[in-house]
Amino acid sequence: MENVLTLNLKNAEAFISLEETIAFAGQSVRHLETLNAGTGAGSDFLGWLTLPSDIQVQIDKIEKAAARLRSITDTTVVIGIGGSYLGARAINEALAHSFSPYLKQKQAHEILFAGQNICEDYFSELIEILDERNYSIIVISKSGTTTEPAIAFRILEQHLEKKVGKKETEQRIIAITDEQKGALRSLADANKYETFVIPDNVGGRYSVLSPVGMLPIAVSGLNIRALAEGARDMELITRKNKDITTNPALLYAAARNLLLKGGRLVEIMVGFTPKLYFFAEWWKQLYGESEGKDGRGIFPASVNFTTDLHSLGQYIQEGQRILFETVISVKNPARTVTVPASQDDSDQLNYLAGRRLSEVNHNAEDGTILAHNDGNVPVIKIEIPAIDEYYLGQMIYFLEISCGISGYMLDINPFDQPGVEAYKKNMFALLNKPGYEEVGRELRKRL
């Protein structure tokens, strides 16, 4: 298949040979088979494997709902946290205008995010903006009981009601949640809000190709059909393909686990464009929450170059040798800017005159990879032709399936997140939530 993302291991080969990686990937074909057979840990949560095809029947409904919100409002607040927000934000920010979301695709609809923090100032500023805006809300929570989005929704639902009245609010809120259970489901049904369902067998961080990601992405005017098509093409390449040389998901999972065995505890996702900032955030959640358990897993970090070459670049070049990098290398930018000539050349940049910024950026990328190699840092490259819906769809599925394989290589359950409960329990206790008072008293002694 042409036009497909490729995995380039050349700059990791001094650390893990290609033969070794291929052999390791060969051994772990069985993990891919376990995923497909649904016989491994967490097998109740494998619905994401076929989401690129399964979502097709809902695309018309999603587009219709998106068009409705766009026709009645100019702003949509997406409320959610973790897997219920990062995927949509990753795609939206990768394709949005960097400075004015209003210019995005020349369509005047802005997406704002709430419920992913409990910062009072952030919230107050959001309300200040919403006082002036004609807005709608998409509230997303699989459990329907997560504190951060629940607080955000309580505040914004009341704000909206006050602004446009109860009847109009009904038209402006869409809830995405469980088909039957949870507080959000009851609330949505009681208020007759339109709803979409998060499938039972899809966990939050694997849900971007369900209505969780697709609806907010469609509301911002992006092409969700192309996103699903990219994911579907990647499903064809990776899901049933046991040939290591043509299945990049097997190779990526093998390479990163071999590097871990060699003492590389931290994987840094690198982008050479700020547009991939939230994509790396999405990836960090996917891999961190999937792998970090039972005292195992690679710690996922991210940097944005060339910006961070002037901050974290020093550590990567010369600090503790526990790192490896995974660079998302983008061939073609969407726009063109060239360096102009200058008559006096006082800044001595005329050697770049007439050349595109992307040429400068690509040489910065190659130069950085080689410098980091010289500094004893292995580099894996994921190469894509461009940042658009189609290739982002490929990336999403590729990284999800690699994560499932990699989790099984680590012998953990990549589809649960028991560790997330610890902070929640303490927070409830410290807030004197009914039933938690005794724990709260004990905890306060430690502060």
Active site residues: 289, 310, 424
Distance of closest approach, residue 339 Cβ to ligand PA5, in angstroms: 43
Residue 83 contacts ligand PA5 per CB under 6 A: yes
84 counts as binding ligand PA5 under rule CB under 6 A: yes
Least distance (Å) between residue 416 CB and ligand PA5 = 8
Structure tokens at 201: 């067998």
Which residues make Cβ contacts (< 8 Å) with residue 33, sequence separation at least 6? 242
Binding part of the chain for ligand PA5, among 81-89, 92-100, 251-259, 347-355 by CB under 6 A, reads: 81-89
Backbone angles phi, psi at 157, to 5 degrees: -60, -45
Report the candidate in 111, 131, 101, 116 with the shortest Cα–Cα distance to residue 66: 111
Out of 142, 185, 264, 381, the residue judged to bind ligand PA5 by CB under 6 A: 142
Q: Are 54 and 47 in contact (CB under 8 A)?
A: yes
Closer residue to ligand PA5 (CB): 289 or 388: 289
| Strands 173-177 vs 379-386: parallel, antiparallel or unpaired | unpaired
Q: Considering beta carbons, is residue 203 or 230 the nearer one to ligand PA5? A: 203
What is the phi/psi pair of residue 135, to 5°? Answer: -125, 165
289 binds ligand PA5 (CB under 6 A): yes
Nearer to ligand PA5, 21 or 413 (CB): 413
- Nearest distance from C-beta of residue 205 to ligand PA5, angstroms: 3
- Residue of 21, 116, 141, 413 interacting with ligand PA5 (CB under 6 A): 141
Separation between Cα atoms, residue 141 and residue 207, nearest integer Å:
11
Q: Which stretch binds ligand PA5 (CB under 6 A): 36-44, 75-83, 99-107, 364-372?
A: 75-83
Query: How many Cα atoms are found within 13 Å in the side-chain-facing hemisphere of 292?
Result: 16
- Residues in the interface with ligand PA5 (CB under 6 A) total 14
Query: Given the DSSP bridges, would you call strands 379-386 and 6-8 parallel, antiparallel or unpaired?
Result: antiparallel
Q: Are 388 and 227 in contact (CB under 8 A)?
A: no
Minimum Å gap between C-beta 250 and ligand PA5 is 24
Contact 423, 82 (CB under 8 A): no
What residue has token string 């950026």? 361
In the complex with ligand PA5, which residue's Cβ is closer, 133 or 284?
A: 284
- Which residues between 411 and 430 bind ligand PA5 (CB under 6 A)? 417
Q: Is 147 exposed, middle or buried (0-12, 13-18, 19+ CB in 10 A)?
A: middle
Question: What CA–CA distance (Å, rounded) separates 54 from 63?
Answer: 16
Q: Is 138 helix (H, G, I), strand (E, B) or coil?
A: strand
User: Which residue number, 19 or 421, has a Cβ lying nearer to ligand PA5?
Assistant: 421
Q: Does 52 interact with ligand PA5 (rule: CB under 6 A)?
A: no
State the Cα–Cα distance between residues 251 and 244, nearest whole angstrom: 7
* Residue 195 binds to ligand PA5 (criterion: CB under 6 A): no
Q: Which of 73, 76, 136, 146 binds ligand PA5 (CB under 6 A)?
A: 146
From the list 204, 216, 248, 378, which residue makes contact with ligand PA5 (rule: CB under 6 A)?
Answer: 204
List residues binding ligand PA5 (CB under 6 A): 81-84, 141-143, 146, 149, 203-205, 289, 417
